[in-house]
Amino acid sequence: MEKDIRIIFGNHLRRLRRSQNISQEELAFRSGLHRTYISSVERGERNISLINIARLAKALDIKPHRLLDSNWDYS
């Protein structure tokens, strides 16, 4: 069964956030997004916009493409 790209993205975001020892609350504060939004993105429940990808990248101090640069395993 094919994995949903939203779940893959959310898992990658979670790994990046945790690698910096940042809580969802802190990421929400830094990005100007709500904590429950961050949580739902990480669970793959949201189809995140490019604007919010850019906000999260800035909050993580990375380039936006890093949020899309993962080992995308669709299987």
Domains of the chain: 5-68 (1.10.260.40)
CA distances from 47 to 8, 19, 21 (A): 12, 23, 25
- ∠ CA 44-46-48, nearest 5°, is 110
- Residue 16 contacts residue 66 (beta carbons within 8 Å): yes
- What integer pLDDT is reported at residue 73 of this predicted model? 54
**Which of these ranges, 1-5, 13-17, 35-39, 49-53, has the smallest mean pLDDT?**
1-5
- What integer pLDDT is reported at residue 74 of this predicted model? 46
- Per-residue pLDDT band for 71 (boundaries 50, 70, 90) equals low
For the chain, what is the radius of gyration of the CA atoms?
Answer: 11
- What integer pLDDT is reported at residue 3 of this predicted model? 74
Residue whose pair of structure tokens reads 């939203």 in the numeric block? 6
